[in-house]
């Protein structure tokens, strides 16, 4: 069914390329995994034209979601979830260029789109632009980007005003559970961006971060998995959990110092 959808979308004049991404592209899919299909175009494909294709293969649909990116979410006839994500090809490649060539840091998943490009399985590529970009960015991890990511996110975590550490501590002392969750989420986003940069690995996105880190990163802070479990299991129960955050940051600083020395 996915291939049939590709074949129909290829007839839209706006569509320049399509790729399968996510866990299926890197062979980490399980029984809960959906299909992530990326559609790269020069301008938007009208909603009704997309609906006419998707309703042939899907039992239910929610079109034009914009929670993260512009996407259509569908349940195919076999029960599998299909996410069709729409991107402007020029803007997508320009964003990767800002990161890879100009060392721009994002507030989370800095190299996520670069990873998405490099791991996506190209199914259609009119004019070869997506394939050419994939070849262009098959390159060593830029040292200036690595240094910028570490510096930027350590400033957010500890050295800036306000810092994530300070925000977490205040939220825990107040017992503000919503704010605790928000603050810890921001902290972990920066923590993992640093970790992948330190190992010169492209950020895989928001899922399975502990698993991917343990499989692919040779440089890990001491008690890496244990400390994350301690933080997440106790952060709503004990204000003293801030000591786990402090330990995680201390161990992260150690490996940064050892690696960049």
CATH number at residue 38: 3.30.460.10
C-beta separation of 40 from 89 below 8 A: yes
Q: How far is CA 8 from the centre of its chain?
A: 28
Question: Of 84, 109, 136, at which residue does a domain stop?
Answer: 136
In what order do the strands lie in the sheet containing 81-88?
58-65, 70-76, 81-88, 35-41, 15-21, 121-125
**Whole-prediction pTM value?**
0.91
Share of residues in the chain with pLDDT > 90 (%):
82
Same domain, 115 and 208: no
Number of other CB atoms surrounding residue 110 within 10 Å: 24
Q: How far is CA 124 from the centre of its chain?
A: 23
64-78, 143-157, 195-209, 214-228: range with lowest mean pLDDT: 64-78
Question: Of 111, 136, 161, at which residue does a domain stop?
Answer: 136
Q: How far is CA 188 from the centre of its chain?
A: 13
Q: What is the pLDDT of residue 35?
A: 81
How far is the CA of 86 from the CAs of 196, 217, 230, 241, in angstroms? 26, 31, 38, 41
The structural domain count of the chain equals 2
pLDDT bin (cut points 50, 70, 90) of residue 78 is confident
Q: What is the pLDDT of residue 25?
A: 45
Render pLDDT for 94-145 as a digit per residue (tens, 0 to 9).
999 999 999 999 988 999 999 999 999 999 999 999 999 999 999 999 999 9
Average pLDDT of the segment spanning 39-51: 95
How far is the CA of 172 from the CAs of 130, 158, 165, 245, 260, in angstroms? 46, 17, 11, 12, 33
Same domain, 131 and 147: no
H/E run at residue 165: helix 164-174
193: domain range? 143-260
Q: Which DSSP symbol is given to 241?
A: G
Same domain, 76 and 179: no
Render pLDDT for 241-259 as a digit per residue (tens, 0 to 9).
899 999 999 999 999 999 9
Same domain, 157 and 90: no
Report the alpha-carbon distance of residue 120 to residue 117 in Å, rounded. Answer: 5
């Amino acid at each position: 069914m996915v291939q049939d959808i590709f074949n129909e979308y290829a007839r839209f004049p706006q569509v320049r390329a399509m790729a399968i991404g996510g866990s299926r592209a890197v062979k980490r899919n399980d029984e809960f995994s959906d299909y992530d299909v990326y559609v790269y175009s020069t301008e938007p494909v009208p909603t009704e034209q997309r609906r006419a294709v998707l309703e042939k293969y899907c039992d239910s649909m929610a079109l034009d979601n914009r929670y993260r990116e512009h996407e259509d979410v569908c349940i195919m006839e076999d029960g599998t979830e299909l996410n069709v994500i729409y991107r402007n090809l020029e803007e997508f490649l320009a964003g990767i260029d800002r990161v890879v060539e100009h060392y721009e840091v994002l507030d989370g998943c800095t190299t996520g789109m670069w990873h998405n490009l490099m791991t996506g399985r190209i199914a259609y590529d009119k004019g070869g632009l997506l394939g050419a970009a994939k070849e262009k960015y098959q390159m060593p991890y830029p040292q200036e980007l690595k240094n910028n990511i570490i510096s930027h996110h350590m400033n957010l975590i500890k050295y800036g005003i306000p810092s994530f550490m300070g925000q977490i501590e205040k939220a825990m002392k107040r017992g503000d559970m919503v704010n605790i969750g928000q603050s810890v989420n921001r902290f972990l986003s920066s923590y993992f961006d640093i970790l992948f940069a330190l190992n010169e690995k492209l950020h895989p996105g928001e899922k399975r971060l502990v698993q991917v880190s343990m499989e692919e990163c040779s440089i890990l802070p001491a008690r890496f998995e244990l400390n994350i479990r301690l933080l997440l299991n106790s952060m709503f129960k004990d204000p003293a959990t801030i000591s786990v955050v402090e330990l995680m940051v201390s161990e992260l600083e150690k490996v940064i110092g050892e690696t960049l020395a």
